[in-house]
Amino acid sequence: MTPPHSRWRTLLVNAGKTRARVAITAFSVVTSVLLVAGFLVVCEVPAEDWLLYMLPAVVVPLVVAPMASYLVLELTFELEAAHALASQQEAQLRALFEHAPIGIARLDHRGQVRTANARLRAILGIGEPGAIPDWSALFVDPLARETFLCALATARPLEAARWQWADGAGAERTVRTALVPMPASRETANLDRPDSVLLAEDITEREAVAAQLLRAQKLDLVGRLAGGLAHDFNNLLTVVRANVATLGGTAVAPELAAIDDAAVRGARLTRRLLSISRHDLLTVSPHALAPLLQDSVELMRRVLPARIRVVAPVMVPEVTLELDPDAVQQALLNLAVNARDAIAAEGVIQVEVRVAAAEAPSMLVLAVVDDGIGMSAAVLARAAEPFFTTKSADTGSGLGLAMVHATMRRHGGRLVLHSTEGAGTRAELWFPIASSGATALPPDAPPATAVDAPRDATEPRAHLLLVEDEHSVRIATERALRRLAYAVTGAPDMSCALRHLRSGATVDLVVTDVMMPGGTGLELLQIMRAEGRSTPVLLVSGYAVDNLATVLAQDPRTALLTKPWTLDRLAGQVHAMLASAAEPNA
């Protein structure tokens, strides 16, 4: 449907055309009559012959003038419409040229910019097209510049070229380009060599994102490898520690104590591997600050080069913190490595401790201070972002501070950074204080009740179903549980465990590994609960999996025992779960 204003415009245009044709016709008739009359007077034609001459003078203009005026007017309007259309298309092309998402420029054979759109000027970092007479000098690679100039001089096309440009501010940009010679035209017919059209796309940010993705994929691959190694290593350490306990424990012989100590150090190494793979289980327990800080400082001194001196506090507050010592040591080591990279030559890394009593609750501030190059305000604002780094691709992943930030958040604390460019950096770890003047038990301290305490002879033996796919771990665990006077049935996988449960046998507690082929411990738990079995389940793992924390929080008849466990911890967990299940309201 034609809009009303368009119809009115058409009517007005047609009325104007009709009026113009009438005026031209009247003018033609009057002019013709006057010319013929003048001719008749000059030539003294008799009056009786005037009609013979006047009739064609009137008829011919009346016939010819409308036709001629129609043709002239239509041609004029068509030319005007064509001119308007050409002007509109030119404006559209110019707008498209100026606002195109890729850079476009017309260059002569010497590389001079005849015209360039806004995107190309932004890539080059220039204002107007003629601001840099020889912008080809911005090429980082001289060979690429020569190739480009040669293609221009010989009117040879270049397709999918990848160049490094230095923009007006000196920053390097990666640009994907194409050079296309312009076809011959009337405008370029008098030129010795035709101009060329340059198409340029800035792919600097895209390549940076691709590099980050590749780095993330490599880190994920390393993490998966580390997680797999740590899982198998945890099983080996579990066998070692279980057999040490079965032989009588560390108090029997110094050789057994040395074996157990090596297993403990191996467990700490495993935790660090799991922290790399982001599958570590955060085991939070009360720990005194002094021994933790002493071990961390000694670790820093072993890792850092001799040119950097580590200064530790002489007096440490007697406070107890709820934390995971391995995770906190890893966070401190990450801060020390960052401080090392910020110190160009010799320098000092100072570890400071203070109590922020004004906070509610009271907080302990553990600071790592260096005298390195520091950070600008812009870098400081993004320092804890994942994959953000000012280091080169082969020396920094951009995950160090991000991991520290995540560790502190999981401890209920925070990471605070203070830095001034040229004046060093201060990284503070803020921990909530559990208590003051308390003494923390070491991670593997035995419970108050001895494991080998005599059992009441009239008390029936509890029956445990042990599900473990690793044969050596299953045998060592069965041996440990039988030593604790429990009846044990071993199952190598989930299907065997389900067959035993469905056979009607009495099972007081299920002890199952989490990571198993053919069905995980969580899947076994889910099937048991779906079948209406309320049997307590002790999950055993040194490897964090999805939904594990959610399952433990939602099901009160489940608990977690981390690998590698000690006999004391195994005994305490099993006894606590059996006692809880025996309560009337359990």
Q: What is the pLDDT of residue 170?
A: 66
Task: Answer whether residue 19 shows pLDDT above 80.
Answer: no
Separation between Cα atoms, residue 493 and residue 498, nearest integer Å? 9
Q: Give the pLDDT mean for 308-320.
A: 84
CB 504 within 8 A of CB 531: no
Give me the amino acid identity at 551. V
- Apex CA 49: angle with CA 47 and CA 51, to 5°? 95
- β-bridge mates for residue 355, sequence order: 364
User: Residue 350 pLDDT > 70, yes or no?
Assistant: yes
Fold of 463-582: Rossmann fold (3.40.50)
- Residue 289 contacts residue 317 (beta carbons within 8 Å): yes
| Tens digits of residue pLDDT in 519-555 | 888 999 999 999 999 999 999 887 666 677 778 888 8
Q: What is the pLDDT of residue 405?
A: 80
Query: CA 563 from chain center: how many Å?
Result: 32
Res. 463: pLDDT tops 90 = yes
State the alpha helices, DSSP H only, in 383-492.
400-410, 471-483
What percent of the chain lies above the pLDDT cut of 90?
8
439 — pLDDT class (breaks 50, 70, 90): very low
pLDDT of residue 135: 64
Residue 231: which of 510, 562, 523 has the closest Cα? Answer: 562
Helix axes 254-277, 204-246, angle to 10 degrees: 160
Strongest mean pLDDT among 94-98, 296-300, 445-449: 296-300
**What distance in Å separates the CA atoms of residue 279 and residue 268, rounded to the nearest whole number?**
14
Whether 94 contacts 117, CB under 8 Å? no
**How high is the pLDDT of residue 344?**
77
Comparing CA positions, the residue from 151, 173, 149, 150 lying closest to residue 162 is 173
Provide the pLDDT for residue 447.
Answer: 35
Domain ranges of the chain: 10-98, 103-202, 285-442, 463-582
Question: Six-digit token pair at 329?
Answer: 């040591």
169 pLDDT more than 80: no
Q: Does domain 103-202 have CATH number 3.30.450.20?
A: yes
Residues 6 or more apart from 241 whose CB is under 8 A from it?
260, 263, 564, 565, 566, 567
pLDDT at 478 over 60: yes
Question: Residue 338 contacts by C-beta under 8 Å, 6 or more apart in sequence?
Answer: 400, 401, 425, 427
Q: Does the pLDDT at position 199 exceed 70? A: yes
Amino acid 268: pLDDT: 66
What is the Cα–Cα distance from 64 to 28, expressed in whole angstroms? 9
Q: Region 294-307: what's the mean pLDDT?
A: 85
**Among 2-6, 11-15, 33-37, 533-537, whose mean pLDDT is lowest?**
2-6
Which of 3.30.420.610, 3.40.50.970, 3.30.565.10, 3.30.420.40 is the CATH number of 285-442? 3.30.565.10
Pick the more confident residue, 385 or 579. Answer: 579
Residue 499 confidence class, pLDDT cut points 50, 70, 90: very high
Least confident window among 8-12, 94-98, 419-423: 8-12
**Per-residue pLDDT at 452:** 41
pLDDT greater than 50 at residue 115? yes
Contact yes or no for 331/408 (Cβ under 8 A): yes
Q: In this predicted structure, what is the pLDDT of residue 488?
A: 93
Strands 487-491 and 463-467: parallel
Distance (Å, whole) CA 245 – CA 251: 10
Exposure on the CB side of residue 172, measured as CA atoms within 13 A: 9
**Does 460 sit behind a cis peptide bond, omega within 30 degrees of 0 on the bond before it?**
no
Q: How confident is the model at residue 456 (pLDDT cuts 50, 70, 90)?
A: very low
Percent of the chain residues topping a pLDDT of 70 = 78
Over residues 27-79, the pLDDT tens digits come to 777 777 777 777 777 777 777 777 777 777 777 777 777 777 777 777 887 88
Please state the rounded mean pLDDT for residues 416-430.
87
Q: For residues 535 and 401, which has the higher predicted lDDT (pLDDT)?
A: 535
Quote the mean pLDDT of the chain.
77
pLDDT at position 168, please?
61
Q: What local confidence, expressed as pLDDT, does residue 182 receive?
A: 81
